[in-house]
Structure 1
Amino acid sequence: MDFKDQLKNLFPDHQETKDIVKEKSTIWMQEDPIICKYEKRKGKPITILEGYTGATSDFKILAKEIKTKLSVGGSFKDDKIIIQGDYRDKIMAMLKEKGFKVKRVGG
């Protein structure tokens, strides 16, 4: 006796419904390219992303996604994503894959 049969015995009047899987859709509003810069602060390299024109919450989600995919630290401050380390090439590839226009600045 499997799990579904046990549930039918417990709740005989219940009718099974189909599972509806909602896909997570995000709409990125952007006219100008996102600027991907490299800087050194206190002798340590950082990558800065700025120039996103959409909602701030979407940019925060993007920051979290980048940090988890690259397994690095970072933050979101003043409408900028700051990633610890020089990951310009990887970040630019990720953003282009998502449909963003990206411009590399500095170095």
Structure 2
Amino acid sequence: MSKDNPLVYSTETGRIDTPKAVVQRPKGDGIVRIQKQTSGRKGKGVCLISGIDADDATLARIAAELKKKCGCGGAVKEGIIEIQGDNRELLKSLLEAKGMKVKLAGG
């Protein structure tokens, strides 16, 4: 077996659980950035919030709170919170109320 194709099943023991690697996200500079993105989304805009140094559970809790306040959907993917729609100003004010330093990035 090579590194590219690890053993996942054996006829003797059944399914072999491989340990999941914990992905380490790079440390930010302490500034939360809010960016609007429409490319690859069929014209639908989303706000990407990056730079929050927190674990996945905390990011999910923050995302749920932001989605509730904005009245829209969203998700957490790879340490970046995605909020549907263009609510950058509202998101900025909500995150600043939590004591974060926020910048609007991009166009």
So what's the TM-score if we normalise by structure 2? 0.68
- Structure 2 partner of 1:53: 53
Segments ≥4 residues shifted beyond 4 Å: none
User: Residue 38 in 1 paired to residue 36 in 2?
Assistant: yes
Aligned residue pairs, count = 78
Residue 102 of structure 2 is matched in structure 1 by: 102
Q: TM-score, normalised by structure 1?
A: 0.68
State percent identity of aligned pairs: 33
Partner of 1:63: 63
Any unmatched runs of 5+ in structure 2?
1-27
Secondary structure in structure 1 of the residue aligned to 2:45: strand
1:54 Cα deviation from its structure 2 partner: 2.2
SS of match in other structure, 1:44:
coil
Structure 1 residue 56: deviation in Å? 2.2
Alpha-carbon RMSD: 1.4
Structure 1, unaligned stretches of length 5 or more?
Answer: 1-29
Q: Does 1:88 align with 2:91?
A: no
Shift of 1:89: 0.2
